């Protein structure tokens, strides 16, 4: 019996409509809303396919199925096609790719964190979401990774299966963005992951981990100034060079200020404050209408220790941890026109705040002390940003849109 003749992807060109190719389906998804991981990718024989020119990051063509396309399932033993295929980018080259939104990338790296946790919260539409954050490195560079929703849960379940640590992950078809001058890789419908996969890139990184130079270079990347633990008297006496820096402080909340607004409205594009002008919310950074602003904690409290008292503003993350709720949850329980009595429940409670020293407003306030986070046994120190953060610290979206890009990773 004569062997069948097949074309290969290497020689596909547009203008011809009777190509015959054998191919393995590496992953499968429906549009940008449904994602399916194929644990046993199938092999198919495609007959009569249309090839169109397409500006792809790696190739200049794509295959388009039409009504005339014929697809036949093949047995694994009939062909030899690699089960995975990647086109890796160095982590140090991702910043340039973050400036575009068309292409996805493949990367491989060592997961730095020894423990990965899921964060569950409500987005600005009041819908529940899940998020997991971590960093990967290759000995020369490090980048942040943020997985969302069911994909994050799938990843978290996978790492609980007892893999060798440190984990080395391959991320296929990840989306690269730049948020607050930091590169971030997230998932979309096409994204896949492989943990400690038997691949030459993973084996190469595993061998590099044994080298002293890799550890030294990575320690240089991770090196950060320690956050000092100070008392209230020391914080008040800090010199001007500490402006915009952060310190830790153990305090007791003496009194909640009920005379000032306890939350503020936030622009959903840039996450700066939004002010109400002529009945409409506008971003303070520019002439932008914000029809559905976020509501974030901005609660003023008086705190004390053995050295004195200090007024601290609890920002959103610290406020959420103090009360275990979002602003919208508290407003649902109480009239927005009144100061909720439940906010007084933190009085006489002890906290370790991570405080940012900022410029005050006007001559009567030279410095402003803002609680960015809480550090305690219940809430571990997040100075390295290892803990996942709520959505508002991840991706901005256009103010006039109610379409949430971060829900695109949902697995049905």
> pLDDT for 192-214, tens place per residue?
999 999 999 999 999 988 876 77
Highest-confidence segment of 197-211, 214-228, 320-334: 197-211
Burial of 36 (0-12, 13-18, 19+ CB in 10 A): exposed
What pTM was computed for the model?
0.53
CA dist 109 and 185 (Å) reads 12
What percentage of the chain reaches a pLDDT higher than 90? 30
- CA gyration radius for the chain? 26
- pLDDT in the model for residue 101: 74
Residues 6+ apart with CB under 8 A from 181: none
Encode pLDDT of 93-136 as tens digits.
Answer: 999 888 887 788 999 999 988 778 888 776 666 678 888 999 99
117 within 8 A of 387, measured Cβ to Cβ: yes
CA angle, residues 80, 85, 89, in degrees to nearest 5 = 160
Encode pLDDT of 156-169 as tens digits.
Answer: 999 888 888 889 99
Encode pLDDT of 351-403 as tens digits.
Answer: 999 999 988 765 556 789 999 888 854 434 443 333 333 333 333 333 332 22
Encode pLDDT of 287-304 as tens digits.
Answer: 778 888 888 899 999 999
What percentage of the chain reaches a pLDDT higher than 70? 74
pLDDT tier for residue 217 given thresholds of 50, 70 and 90:
low
- pLDDT in the model for residue 306: 95
The β-bridge relationship of strands 246-256 and 299-305 is antiparallel
Span 65-79, mean pLDDT?
81
């Amino acid at each position: 019996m004569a062997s069948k003749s097949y074309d290969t992807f290497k020689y596909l060109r547009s203008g011809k409509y009777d190509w015959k190719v054998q191919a393995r389906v590496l992953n499968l998804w429906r549009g940008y809303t449904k994602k399916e991981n194929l644990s046993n990718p199938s092999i198919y024989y495609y007959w009569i396919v249309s090839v169109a020119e397409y500006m792809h990051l790696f190739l200049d063509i794509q295959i388009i199925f039409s009504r005339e396309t014929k697809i036949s399932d093949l047995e694994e033993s009939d062909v030899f096609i690699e089960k995975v295929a990647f086109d890796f980018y160095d982590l140090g080259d991702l910043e340039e790719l973050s400036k575009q939104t068309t292409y996805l990338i493949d990367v491989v790296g060592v997961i730095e964190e020894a423990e990965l946790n899921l964060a569950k919260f409500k987005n600005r539409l009041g819908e529940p979401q899940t998020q997991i954050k971590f960093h990967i490195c290759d000995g020369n560079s490090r980048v942040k990774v943020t997985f969302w929703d069911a994909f994050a849960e799938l990843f978290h379940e996978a790492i609980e299966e007892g893999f060798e640590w440190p984990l080395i992950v391959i991320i296929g078809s990840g989306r690269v963005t730049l948020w607050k001058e930091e590169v971030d890789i997230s998932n979309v419908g096409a994204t896949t992951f492989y943990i400690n996969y038997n691949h030459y890139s993973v084996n190469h990184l595993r061998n590099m981990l044994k080298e002293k130079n890799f550890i030294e270079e990575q320690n240089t990347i991770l090196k950060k100034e320690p956050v000092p633990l100070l008392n209230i008297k020391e914080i008040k006496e800090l010199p001007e060079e500490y402006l915009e820096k952060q310190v830790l402080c153990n305090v007791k909340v003496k009194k909640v200020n009920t005379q000032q607004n306890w939350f503020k409205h936030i622009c959903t594009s840039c996450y700066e404050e939004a002010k109400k002008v002529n009945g409409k919310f506008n971003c303070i950074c520019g002439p932008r209408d914000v029809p559905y602003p976020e509501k974030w904690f901005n609660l003023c409290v008086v705190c004390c220790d053995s050295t004195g008292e200090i007024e601290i503003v609890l920002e959103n993350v610290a406020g959420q941890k103090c009360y275990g709720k979002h602003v919208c949850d508290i407003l649902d329980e109480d009239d927005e026109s009144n100061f909720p009595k439940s906010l007084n429940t933190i009085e006489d409670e002890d906290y370790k705040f991570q405080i940012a020293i900022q410029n005050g407003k006007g001559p009567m306030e030279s410095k402003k002390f803002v609680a960015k986070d809480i550090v305690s046994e219940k809430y571990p120190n997040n100075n390295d940003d290892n803990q996942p953060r709520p959505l508002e610290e991840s991706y901005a979206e256009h103010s006039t849109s109610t379409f949430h890009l971060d829900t695109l990773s949902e697995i049905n």
